[in-house]
Structure formats: C-alpha cells, structure tokens
Copies of this chain bind each other. A is one copy, B any other.
Amino acid sequence: MTRLFNDPTAFADELIDGFVAAHPGHVRPVRGGVVRATRCTSDTVALVIGGGSGHYPAFGGLVGPGIAHGAAMGNLFASPSTQQIVSVARAASNGGGILLSYGNYAGDVLNFDAAEAQLNAEGIPTRTVRVTDDIASAPASEKHRRRGIAGDLTVFKVAGAAAEAGYVLDEVVRVAELANERTRSFGVAFTGCTLPGASEPLFTVPEGRMALGLGIHGEPGIGETDIPSADGLAQLFVEELLAELPEGVASPKGRRVALVLNGLGSVKYEELYVVYGCIARRLQEAGVTIVEPEVGEFCTSFDMAGVSLTLFWLDTELELFWRAGADTPGFRKGLVSPRPRVSAESGVQKKPSSEAVMVPASEESRAAAPRIVAAVDAIAAVIDAHVEELGRIDAVAGDGDHGIGMQRGATAARAAAHAAVEAGAGAGSVLLRAADAWSDRAGGTSGALWGVMLRALGTRIGDEDAPDAHAIAEGAADALAGIRSYGKAEVGDKTMVDAIVPFVETLVARVIDGEQLGDAWDAAAAAATAAAAATADLLPRVGRARPHAEKSLGTPDAGAHSFGLIATAVAATLTRKDFAR
C-alpha cells in the first residue's frame, strides 16, 4: 500500500516536483509534464508519450536521449488533459513534427486525440500510435481495443531511436506501428495497489490464487488459477505468447525476440530472475533467440503484485533500434554521447496567468454570473461529499480514480468560477473558465467529458443576455451532442451517457412545454438519477475492461452516478426567481 504522502490530492504534483528535482540532468518541467533537459537536433521528430501517474518509470522516467522527448504526466491513473499534452508537445517540438504514443485507454484516447487535432491546427504536424500489447484485454480480432501495458517500452524505445536516427515523421510512425504490431504481452496479478489515502487495495485475489490478464489500474483479469511454480508461470507466459504470433512471423523457430519481463511493483528482482531463467530455457527450446532482454520494473502500478512478459518479434530494423543506446532517468542502456544541457531559463514555461483578459459582458449576464457560481459551488460540494463512494464504485470495473478525478476537476472549476466572477466575467465566461479548469486539472475520461459539457453550456449561454430556461436547455442539448461525438458511447453501454440522455430529453421537453426551469430541472435530475441507478443491471461497456460479470452487475456506473448526484445538487440552486422562463 502507499503509505508516504502529504495531501493525497496533491500527490501527483508533488511526485512530479520531486522527480524533476532528482533528475535535472535529464528532464526539465513544463506545464503538463516534462521534456528533455538536453538539446535535440533541430527538424527531428519529437516523441511525446504520456498517461496517468503511478506507473513509474512510465511515463516521465522514459524521457531522455534515445527514448522520448517529452511526457505528459496526468494525475494518478488519470489521463493527462488535452491542455497538458498540447503544452508538452509544443515544448518538445523540434520542427520535425510530433509522434504521440501512449497506452490505449479511453481517457487517454479522448485527450490525446483532441491534442493531436489542436496541434495539427496550430501547424505542428502530429501523428498518433497507440500501444495495444495486452493480449488478455481483447481477442486478436479486435486488436485495436487492447490495452497498453509493458509493451509501451518496446514501442517507445523503437520510436525514440528512429526519431534519434533522423527518420521523418511518416517513417517514425511506420516503425512505431510495426513495433506495436510485433509486441505482445500477457500478465498475471496477485494483489492490487492501494492508492495514496485509500484504505483498500483496488482489487484482491484470494491467497494462493493468481489472476490471469492483469490490468495496470486494477482492471479485472479474465480468469483465476492457483499460483503455479516459477517454471509453471514461465510455461503459461510462453504458451500464451507463442499461441498468437504477429503477422509475418509464421513460426517462432529461428526468430529473434526482444523481451521485457516486467514486475508491477512488489514482485521483486529475485523472483523475476528465477522466472526469467525458466522463460529463457523454454524459448530456447522453441528455437527463439532472445536479444537484450530487460528484467525489472518498467511499467508499474505502485506496489501492485503482478508480473507480465512481453515478446517483441524483431526484424533487422527493429533490432537496430531496440539495441540503440538510451539515457533516461528510468531506463538506460548502451552508449549515449553526452548532450549539451538546455540552459535552465530558456525552456521553463511560466504557467499562464489566470488573470487573462475577460470578454466584456453585459450587465444582465454579469448579474446572472453569481448564480452560475452557486451552481458550480453545489457541484464541488456534492462531489466532496461523495468522493469515496464514487471511488469505490469505480474500483469495481475501473481504476478507482473517478472520485478523486471528479474532485480535482470540481475543485479547480469552483476556484476558476469565483476568480472569473471577481474579474467581472459574464455568466457564459464563468462556465467556460470553469470548464477549462475542470478538464485541465481533472485529466482522465471524466475530466475531458465534463470539460466538453460545461464548455458547450457556457458557449450557448454567452455573455450577452441573462441565461434563460431555453438557453440552458439548448446548452444541455449541445453538451449531449458534444459528449456523443467525443466519447462515442450510446445508451446501454453503462457509461455517463446513460444518465445524460434522459436528463437532456426531460429538460428540453419540459422547457418546451413551458415549465419553469427549476421544475424542469428537478424532473430531469430525477430521470438522470433513476437511469444512473439502472446501470447497475448492465454489464460494463466492452472495450473499457473485460466484462467481469459477477462484480460489475449490481454496481451502477460511476460516471452516470456522479452525473445524477450533480444534476440533483444543481437543482437545489435553481429557485424559480433565479432564472426567467
């Protein structure tokens, strides 16, 4: 379990500060993460990686000559926000374009995709390669849905070496895609980690038993068995991975593979070496030659007890890049010639001032702004009161971070809303500021989605007129449209969408019927709450994690549930006199 922390909600920020302080020769801080402290050749491709914190050395620990140029470092187990990724990519850019690469998780996909679009719009050519190495997370026919685990290392390593070698963006993408296609991992787990400040581990496996198919955020496995001997585990790993050879590899015999035997945190080096000895013997028997194996901790989950084997089927080009030198805080090999350090001042970006100039607002809109602030206050308060409950619900099928992610977002949104009102903002701008702060600080899937919703609502309300029931209903409809296009979930997928759709349909229908906003919102909130509760009867959305029927049936979706809580809390602030019909 995680025992050493100060304020649990500040844990990710503090670990990044400590990490940067410990490695000034390798990394320098920028808004949203870190970039290399050493100079790069201009006009080369920059590899920008990222993800939630809690997986050290992934992701910040892999920044340096030979691997990544920058890492967007999200909160614990939460995707970095779109703003974080854009900020890191801008700072890492050397003029040769950006390759974004990361493990395939819903929140990361949302935020990295949005960042890719924004960077391209800014004129920085940007491409993406998602890592999908975990063969236990989806069948071979649906490889694009597989999660990224320790195979991150092989893909990042090869992509970084190709960029270092001067490959242009299209070629770095080609090599990274090939590396991902040639990388397969299978993992097992014994216990989950306990996040800072939490009292329970994300999951447990009965004593003497082992979960097959680990998830590095506590996602459930695909089965369970007795803990085998070290050699029994080696046999399982080798059989699983030789049973699914990548395209172009007809037989293991005579092939060369790179190998990563990755401990998740508390399966330690001695055990790993015993298992490695057995794996090496079995692969040798299968006619496979192992090339520069890595045995240690490369993609962890705090002190989770688990271990995964990654095989990376090489060709000549991939082997060249796998063997190339690298010098990062968390992964070093071979020879890397010393690089001049970027001067301390040149690269340090100041956090953008929150006192940016406000759009001029009408009297009416400014008069309505405090009521928006009151609604945001109510959101932050209800999340504060339910943060542990939301974490508990999310831990059943997800990574247990929904409560703290929502809390970070809502807290930041509250502060931004108050600051905006004090700076003279209109009602729409208050919501826009709150939206930006929420998605930036919360990270993860829910952070991105709440950013989209509040932004849609704020845009519709604007700073001209006092917000009325129609504007708010239309804004809610815009928010739903945004969510649908962004998250691609439908009703019945056991996501937040299950609660939003009845909410918006009820709100819009009742406002059109001429109901007061307060009454309409009450009814809509009740519909959302009922729909959220009904998600308990649904299996989780395929693609998020493997269905784990016994556990997730009977548990509502955390995102739908928090939406219901928020809708109800806001209803209490909407007295009839606040908003015109």
The residues of A with any CB-CB pair to B shorter than 8 Å are 2-6, 11, 14-19, 21-22, 25, 53-54, 56-57, 61, 190, 196, 227, 229-231, 233, 265-278, 280, 292-293, 295, 300, 302-303, 305, 307, 330, 332-333, 335-338
The reply to whether A6 and B338 contact each other, CB–CB distance below 8 Å, is no
> Could you jot down 5 A-B contacts, CB within 8 Å?
A4-B267, A17-B273, A18-B276, A53-B270, A56-B273
The reply to whether A303 and B268 contact each other, CB–CB distance below 8 Å, is yes
Cβ 8 A contact of A22, one of B11, B15, B276, B300: B276
Within the complex, what minimum Cβ distance (angstroms) separates A572 from chain B? Answer: 36
The reply to whether A280 and B6 contact each other, CB–CB distance below 8 Å, is no
Separation of A40 and B561 alpha carbons in the complex (Å): 65
Q: Given A14-B277, A277-B18, does the pair A3, B335 have CB atoms closer than 8 Å?
A: no
Q: Given A295-B22, A307-B4, does the pair A11, B277 have CB atoms closer than 8 Å?
A: no
The reply to whether B274 and A3 contact each other, CB–CB distance below 8 Å, is no
Query: Which residue of chain B is the closest to A195 with respect to CB atoms?
Result: B270
Separation of A277 and B18 alpha carbons in the complex (Å): 4
The reply to whether A3 and B267 contact each other, CB–CB distance below 8 Å, is yes
Residues of B within 8 A of A272 (CB): 18
Cβ 8 A contact of A271, one of B4, B269, B273: B4
Residues of B within 8 A of A14 (CB): 230, 273-274, 277
The reply to whether B332 and A332 contact each other, CB–CB distance below 8 Å, is yes
Known pairs A3-B271, A4-B233, A57-B269; list 8 more (Cβ under 8 Å): A4-B227, A5-B229, A6-B230, A16-B273, A22-B276, A25-B292, A303-B303, A335-B337
Query: Which residue of chain B is the closest to A5 with respect to CB atoms?
Result: B230
Query: Which residue of chain B is the closest to A16 with respect to CB atoms?
Result: B273
Within the complex, what minimum Cβ distance (angstroms) separates A153 from chain B? Answer: 15
Separation of A32 and B333 alpha carbons in the complex (Å): 27
The reply to whether B269 and A17 contact each other, CB–CB distance below 8 Å, is no
The reply to whether A4 and B230 contact each other, CB–CB distance below 8 Å, is yes
Residues of B within 8 A of A273 (CB): 14-19, 22, 56
Within the complex, what minimum Cβ distance (angstroms) separates A334 from chain B? Answer: 8
Cβ 8 A contact of A270, one of B231, B274, B302: B302
Separation of A302 and B4 alpha carbons in the complex (Å): 19
The reply to whether A274 and B332 contact each other, CB–CB distance below 8 Å, is no
Q: Given A14-B277, A21-B276, A276-B18, does the pair A56, B4 have CB atoms closer than 8 Å?
A: no
Q: Kindly name the residue among A267, A274, A330 whose own CB sees the greatest number of chain B CB atoms within 10 A.
A: A274
The reply to whether A4 and B274 contact each other, CB–CB distance below 8 Å, is yes
The reply to whether B56 and A269 contact each other, CB–CB distance below 8 Å, is yes
Within the complex, what minimum Cβ distance (angstroms) separates A211 from chain B? Answer: 12
User: What are the 3 closest A-B residue pairs judged by CB atoms, nearest first?
Assistant: A18-B277, A18-B273, A56-B269
Residues of B within 8 A of A16 (CB): 273
Separation of A421 and B280 alpha carbons in the complex (Å): 39
Q: Given A53-B270, A303-B268, does the pair A277, B2 have CB atoms closer than 8 Å?
A: no
Residues of B within 8 A of A19 (CB): 273
Query: Which residue of chain B is the closest to A302 with respect to CB atoms?
Result: B268
Separation of A188 and B236 alpha carbons in the complex (Å): 38
Q: Given A14-B230, A22-B276, A337-B335, does the pair A56, B270 have CB atoms closer than 8 Å?
A: yes
Q: Given A11-B274, A15-B270, A277-B14, does the pair A293, B22 have CB atoms closer than 8 Å?
A: yes
Q: Given A269-B57, A270-B11, A270-B54, does the pair A277, B3 have CB atoms closer than 8 Å?
A: no
Residues of B within 8 A of A54 (CB): 270
The reply to whether A268 and B265 contact each other, CB–CB distance below 8 Å, is yes
Q: Kindly name the residue among A2, A18, A302, A330 whose own CB sees the greatest number of chain B CB atoms within 10 A.
A: A18
Cβ 8 A contact of A300, one of B25, B267, B268, B335: B268
Separation of A4 and B293 alpha carbons in the complex (Å): 19
Q: Given A332-B332, A338-B335, does the pair A190, B3 have CB atoms closer than 8 Å?
A: yes
Separation of A57 and B57 alpha carbons in the complex (Å): 17
Separation of A18 and B277 alpha carbons in the complex (Å): 4
The reply to whether A274 and B230 contact each other, CB–CB distance below 8 Å, is no
The reply to whether B56 and A6 contact each other, CB–CB distance below 8 Å, is no
Within the complex, what minimum Cβ distance (angstroms) separates A259 from chain B? Answer: 9
Query: Which residue of chain B is the closest to A275 with respect to CB atoms?
Result: B4
Within the complex, what minimum Cβ distance (angstroms) separates A165 from chain B? Answer: 19
Within the complex, what minimum Cβ distance (angstroms) separates A145 from chain B? Answer: 28
Residues of B within 8 A of A15 (CB): 270-271, 273-274, 277
The reply to whether B233 and A277 contact each other, CB–CB distance below 8 Å, is no
Separation of A22 and B277 alpha carbons in the complex (Å): 8
Within the complex, what minimum Cβ distance (angstroms) separates A275 from chain B? Answer: 5
Residues of B within 8 A of A231 (CB): 6
Q: Kindly name the residue among A61, A190, A302 whose own CB sees the greatest number of chain B CB atoms within 10 A.
A: A302
Residues of B within 8 A of A336 (CB): 335
The reply to whether B338 and A227 contact each other, CB–CB distance below 8 Å, is no
Query: Which residue of chain B is the closest to A281 with respect to CB atoms?
Result: B21
Separation of A22 and B302 alpha carbons in the complex (Å): 25
Within the complex, what minimum Cβ distance (angstroms) separates A299 from chain B? Answer: 12
Residues of B within 8 A of A4 (CB): 227, 229-230, 233, 267, 271, 274-275, 307
